[in-house]
Amino acid sequence: MLTSTKNLLEKAQRYSYAVGAFNLYNLEGAKAVVNAAEADNSPAIIQILPHILKYGGSPLIALFLEAADSASVPMSVHLDHCEEPAVIETALEAGIQSVLADGSKFSFRDNLAFTREMTALAHAKGATVEAEIGRISGTEDGMTVAEKEAKMTDPNQAKEFVAASGVDFLAVTIGNVHGEYYSEPRLDFERLAQVRQRLQIPLVLHGASGLPALMIQRSIELGVCKFNVNTEVRQKYLQFWREYGKTDSQSDLLDCQKAATGAMQEIIAQKIRLFGSAGKA
């Protein structure tokens, strides 16, 4: 059932678990999330990145919205990492429940001005807004941020930013990275605790792929209510097709689509259980 992202995350915050937000590209991904969420009686969020939205257009948003609405568990659809007002407006007009108005590459003041404007736009349409303070390093889906450009979230700035912008959720930067971790993850939990002390709204952590269970649990204890997942699910999908391409199988395409969906569903189910949302629908 289609539900507001705000409702999903506020419930998660109240009961100390997190909702998985999965970046998707096609029908197979949507079915994998719905199937996994229904099997574990869990809420979930379908996410779409701006360049995927530009590729798939309004039909892809309609597909994701229908998938979420037809599910027997609460789900929402979220526009991830968008810095273009026109794209945000298009997504909101199409019925998306929430957007990440991403001004993290701008100065604090410019980020605040952009986020305040997008928040007013989204709220007028009954949607909610995630913002990002700090800059997450890493590479994923064509988006690269060098380590030297990455900046940790400043707890005092976070408080000022949320109060001035009116955003509904905040994505924090505490050592998390987009894509794969090529060394042992090091998250600054003291920084996260300071942010939590200053804010009441749900917190978001990007770059959940590859984080160990103990770090996930500690993040939840300190107020993270939403984890973004992309890399592991996407890699599983690509792995299936690469391995299939090495065979002389004459399987029907529909059978392959079902198998690819199942492969992704396994990863998504693992994340749902790791985030503690199983049984919380």
Q: What phi and psi, each to the nearest 5 degrees, are found at residue 57?
A: 65, -165
Residue 86 neighbours by CB under 8 Å, 6+ apart: none
Q: What phi and psi, each to the nearest 5 degrees, are found at residue 225?
A: -115, -5
CB 138 within 8 A of CB 183: no
> Rounded to an integer, what distance in angstroms lies between the CA atom of residue 4 and that of residue 98?
8
Alpha-carbon distances of 18 from 159, 218, 222, 224, rounded to whole Å: 22, 11, 11, 7
Q: What phi and psi, each to the nearest 5 degrees, are found at residue 82?
A: -120, 130
Token output for 19? 């909702």
For 253, the enclosing helix (H) or strand (E) is helix 253-274
Q: Active site residue: 80, 102, 141, 168, which one?
A: 80
Residue 72 neighbours by CB under 8 Å, 6+ apart: 1, 38, 281
80 is catalytic: yes
CB 227 within 8 A of CB 208: yes
59: exposed, middle or buried (C-beta count within 10 Å: 0-12, 13-18, 19+)?
Answer: exposed
Q: Which residues are catalytic?
A: 80
